[in-house]
């Protein structure tokens, strides 16, 4: 019964649909006819408009042609007029030039005539001047001869007079010499007498002083000397205190400069620290510790080559200073000279075989050279010296991870978190190792620990989202990806993983937007998206094809 009723309903529904279909076809035919008529009307209007437009264009073209002909006529007239004016001006200029040439020829003739007359006059004056000069020269020669004769006569007179005076002076000098000798003998006698008297008086005074000293007690002499010495010491001390207050650096020793430099180094006042070390070196350049500390300050300023030079100087003075060798190795690491750094760390190990931090940094340098097996051996040595050395465990885990030894890598990271439970980096690496082992729930726990100690860790949020996608917890995964992008807005990995998550939720447009952003930030995702099975459902989408084609 129910079936018959259902059949009747279907038949009734079919009849209604048939009626509606007929009505729809009729309406469609009417709409089609109306549209056809409208199109014919539009076509007619377009034809009329086109004809009108052609007429307007032809009229404007004709007007423009007439205007150009008029302009051409005006230009031809102007050109002819201009040529006539130029010809007239040219003729006028020619006449003016001829007139100027005639005037100039006349003036030139006058000037040449005047010049000849002036030249003859100058020659006459020169001849007259020469005659006068000859007369003056003859007179001058005569005067010179007269003057010469007069001077010779005077010289003869002076010579005679001088000889007479010299003879007289010689006689006077002899007499003066004899008189002087007599006076000297008298003075000598007087001095001998005075000296004898002085010796006698000195002896008398000496005897009196000795007698007085004998009367003075030794205690009095001592007290007087001490009092006088104490007074002088106090005076000198006061002067030294004033000098030290005004110029303290004058009293600095090398140790003082070293201590002050070390204090400034701790306060991160590196330039001032270097200035103090330089003053210490100036006082005594052979102290290794000053050179070493100067190298440390230079390294902090990023002046690595200068730091190496300073540390080399320290090692020239003391080649067995392990601290200088260690700082040199660290500085070479910062210069990315890893082979030299390893050789330097080997020197430290020669001097200090149990220095754990040197073994650690030696391992890091080997890892930078992609020598992971030897790097692991160095980390093992550091751990052997200190089983709780969490930095060595972390770096060991990284090297093992690169070598695809995932279980051992996880064990190292796990041990690092035990050694230092608040180390966000160790927890992040522990989570990544678990992710590689597909232990997603445990990985999420590690990422949560990372976020606890470092809330803005974009990597932790991103990998947490990835693990949640693998556990099919897409909503929570999207929240994690959004957190990653809040922490780092240009994070291509998070955009790509978010695109995958959106595809799995059927949000194709959102997926394509995020994929587009990921490719924009990192073009390698274009190739990855081509082969990623997660994008299978949108592979035929035109937008997706454009993105992967580039």
| pTM passes above 0.85 | no
Rounded Cα distance between 479 and 458, Å, is 12
Which tokens sit at 92? Answer: 């006028």
Residue 287 belongs to some domain of the structure: no
Which residue do the tokens 């003739």 mark?
109
Domain span at residue 484 reads 456-550
- Whether residue 333 is predicted with pLDDT greater than 50 in this model: the reply is yes
Nearest 5°: the CA angle 294, 285, 248 is: 80
Residue 537 belongs to some domain of the structure: yes
pLDDT band (50, 70, 90) for residue 195:
very low
- Whether residue 243 is predicted with pLDDT greater than 50 in this model: the reply is no
- How much is the pLDDT for 150? 57
Q: Where are the alpha helices (DSSP H) in 267-355?
A: 270-283, 288-300, 304-317, 322-334, 338-351
CB 277 within 8 A of CB 261: yes
Residue 506 belongs to some domain of the structure: yes
- How much is the pLDDT for 355? 97
93-99-103-105 Cα dihedral, nearest 10 degrees:
90
Residue 531 belongs to some domain of the structure: yes
User: For 23-27, 209-213, 536-540, which range has the lowest pLDDT when averaged over its residues?
Assistant: 209-213
- CATH code of the domain in which 478 resides: 1.25.40.10
Structurally, the chain folds into a number of domains equal to 1
H/E segment holding residue 393: helix 390-402
CA proximity to 479, closest of 459, 464, 489:
464
Residue 503 belongs to some domain of the structure: yes
Rounded Cα distance between 371 and 359, Å, is 15
- How much is the pLDDT for 29? 72
- How much is the pLDDT for 326? 97
Which tokens sit at 3? Answer: 């079936």
Highest mean pLDDT among 145-149, 157-161, 242-246, 544-548: 544-548
- Whether residue 96 is predicted with pLDDT greater than 80 in this model: the reply is no
Which residue do the tokens 């649909």 mark?
17
Quote the percentage of the chain above a pLDDT of 70: 57
User: For 182-186, 289-293, 298-302, which range has the lowest pLDDT when averaged over its residues?
Assistant: 182-186
Rounded Cα distance between 129 and 544, Å, is 115
Nearest 5°: the CA angle 54, 56, 60 is: 115
Residue 142 belongs to some domain of the structure: no
- How much is the pLDDT for 24? 67
Concatenated DSSP letters for 421-437? Answer: TT-HHHHHHHHHHHHHT
User: For 196-200, 323-327, 487-491, which range has the lowest pLDDT when averaged over its residues?
Assistant: 196-200
- Whether residue 476 is predicted with pLDDT greater than 70 in this model: the reply is yes
Which tokens sit at 173? Answer: 């000098």
Rounded Cα distance between 215 and 211, Å, is 7
Please classify residue 528 by burial: count the beta carbons closer than 10 Å to its beta carbon, then call 0-12 exposed, 13-18 middle and 19+ buried: middle
Q: Is 252 helix (H, G, I), strand (E, B) or coil?
A: coil
Which residue do the tokens 């274009």 mark?
526
Question: What integer best gives the mean pLDDT of the chain?
Answer: 77
Residue 261 belongs to some domain of the structure: no
Rounded Cα distance between 297 and 262, Å, is 9
Residue 399 belongs to some domain of the structure: no
Burial 301-326 (b: 16+ CB within 10 A, else e): eebbebbbebbebbbebbeebbbbbb
- How much is the pLDDT for 223? 52
Rounded Cα distance between 171 and 309, Å, is 86
- How much is the pLDDT for 517? 95
pLDDT digits (tens, 9 = 90+) for 36-86: 776 677 677 766 766 776 776 577 667 667 766 775 666 566 556 656 665
């Amino acid at each position: 019964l129910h079936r018959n009723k259902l059949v009747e309903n279907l038949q009734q529904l079919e009849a209604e649909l048939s009626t509606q279909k007929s009505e729809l076809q009729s309406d469609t035919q009417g709409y089609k006819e109306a549209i056809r008529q409208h199109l014919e009307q539009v076509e007619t209007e377009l034809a009329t408009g086109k004809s009108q437009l052609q007429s307007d264009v032809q009229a404007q073209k004709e007007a423009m042609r007439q205007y150009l002909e008029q302009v051409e006529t005006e230009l031809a007239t102007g050109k002819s007029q201009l040529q006539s004016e130029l010809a007239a001006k040219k003729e006028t200029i020619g006449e003016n030039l001829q007139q100027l040439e005639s005037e100039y020829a006349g003036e030139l003739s006058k000037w040449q005539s005047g010049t000849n007359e002036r030249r003859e006059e100058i020659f006459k004056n020169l001849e007259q001047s020469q005659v006068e000069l000859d007369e003056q020269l003859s007179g001058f020669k005569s005067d010179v001869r007269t003057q010469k004769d007069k001077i010779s006569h005077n010289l003869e007179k002076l010579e005679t007079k001088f000889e007479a005076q010299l003879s007289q002076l010689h006689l006077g000098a002899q007499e003066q010499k004899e008189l002087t000798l007599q006076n000297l003998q008298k003075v000598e006698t007087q001095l001998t007498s005075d000296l004898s008297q002085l010796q006698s008086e000195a002896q008398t005074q000496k005897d009196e002083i000795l007698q007085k000293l004998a009367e003075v007690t030794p205690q009095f002499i001592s007290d007087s000397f001490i009092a006088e010495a104490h007074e002088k010491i106090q005076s000198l001390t006061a002067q030294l205190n004033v000098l030290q207050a005004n110029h303290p650096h004058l009293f600095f020793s090398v140790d003082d400069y070293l201590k002050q430099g070390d204090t400034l180094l701790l306060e991160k006042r590196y330039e001032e620290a270097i200035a103090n070390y330089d003053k210490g070196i100036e006082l005594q350049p052979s102290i290794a510790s000053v050179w070493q500390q100067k190298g440390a300050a230079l390294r902090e300023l990023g002046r690595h080559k200068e730091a190496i030079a300073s540390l080399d100087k320290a090692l020239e003075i003391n080649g067995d200073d392990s601290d200088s060798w260690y700082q040199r190795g660290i500085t070479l690491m910062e210069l990315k000279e890893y082979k030299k750094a390893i050789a330097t760390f080997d020197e430290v190990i020669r001097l200090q075989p149990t220095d754990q931090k040197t073994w650690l940094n030696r391992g890091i340098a080997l890892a930078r050279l992609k020598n992971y097996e030897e790097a692991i051996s160095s980390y093992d040595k550091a751990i052997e010296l200190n089983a709780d050395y969490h930095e060595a465990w972390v770096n060991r885990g990284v090297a093992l991870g690169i070598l695809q030894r995932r279980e051992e890598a996880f064990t190292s990271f796990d041990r690092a978190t035990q050694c230092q439970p608040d180390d966000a980096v160790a927890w992040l690496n522990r989570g990544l190792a678990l992710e590689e082992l597909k232990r997603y729930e445990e990985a999420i726990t590690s990422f949560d620990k990372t976020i606890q100690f470092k809330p803005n860790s974009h990597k932790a949020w991103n990998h947490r989202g990835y693990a949640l996608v693998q556990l099919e917890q897409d909503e929570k995964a999207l929240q994690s990806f959004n957190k990653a992008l809040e922490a780092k807005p240009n994070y291509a990995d998070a955009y790509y993983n978010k695109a995958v998550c959106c595809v799995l939720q059927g949000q194709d447009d959102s997926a394509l937007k995020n994929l587009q952003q990921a490719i924009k930030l990192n073009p390698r995702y274009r190739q990855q998206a081509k082969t990623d099975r997660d994008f299978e459902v949108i592979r035929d989408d035109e937008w997706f094809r454009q993105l992967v084609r580039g």
